[in-house]
Amino acid sequence: MSRVCVFIDGSNLYFALKRNNKMTRVDYYQFSLALAGDRRKLARTYYYNAVFDAAHFSEKAKSQQSFFDSLDRTPYLELRLGRIIQNREGHRMEKGVDVRMASDMVYYAARDFYDTAIVVTEDQDFAPAMSLVKELGKHVELAVFPDAQSREMIRMADRIVNLEDVVNGHSAQVFPPSQASEDKAGADEEMAYGA
């Protein structure tokens, strides 16, 4: 059975879901299973995001931690965190997220941890890492919504997975019914992204 690793650019997916009028509270285990499909084995999901510094953004950091705690309870998911900094102009920026995701994709391909990488991002900065993964003899699938398919990313991917079809076809599993604690986690995720 072919082994799959899913690499999720968390903030990128969050804003793509919002832009496409989808729920943003996601069961990432079910989401990853839907991406992998019935005929492949989900080896692991890697979820990448950035942490607010508690010293400078105490409320956002607190809410964000609740969301990250919910991810820690997700089966077969590894949480990989960078940090959020504020530049001289006062704009917030993620640091260390893209580099970590790209290096993990290549590292786990080189270690023969998976046969196929499913990359969930619209960020063209991942194109070189996707190319390296293919050079290591692995398959690369790009999971994006139809409104965000860049030519460069399509060229780098072996296959495009239509996220619209995935989330619509598995909505009952991917977007679980509301429960009080899960609603809180969803609200914390909204706050964590400043939505």
> Which class would CATH give 2-192?
alpha beta
Q: What angle do CA 85, 19, 176 make, to 5 degrees?
A: 95
- Does the model's pTM come out above 0.85? yes
Q: How far apart are CA 188 and CA 6, in angstroms?
A: 23
Chain segment 105-130, per-residue pLDDT in tens: 999 999 999 999 999 999 999 999 99
Following DSSP, what letter does each residue of the chain receive, concatenated?
-EEEEEEEEHHHHHHHHHHTT--S---HHHHHHHHH-TTEEEEEEEEEEEEPPTTT-HHHHHHHHHHHHHHHTSTTEEEEEEEEEE-TTS-EEEESHHHHHHHHHHHHHHTT--SEEEEE---GGGHHHHHHHHHTT-EEEEEE-GGG--HHHHHH-SEEEEHHHHHHHTHHHHSPPP-HHHHHHHHHHHHHTT-
User: pLDDT tens digits for the chain (195 residues)?
Assistant: 999 999 999 999 999 999 999 999 999 999 999 999 999 999 999 999 998 877 767 777 787 888 899 999 999 999 999 988 777 887 788 888 999 999 999 999 999 999 999 999 999 999 999 999 999 999 999 999 998 778 888 899 999 999 999 999 999 999 988 654 444 444 545 545 544
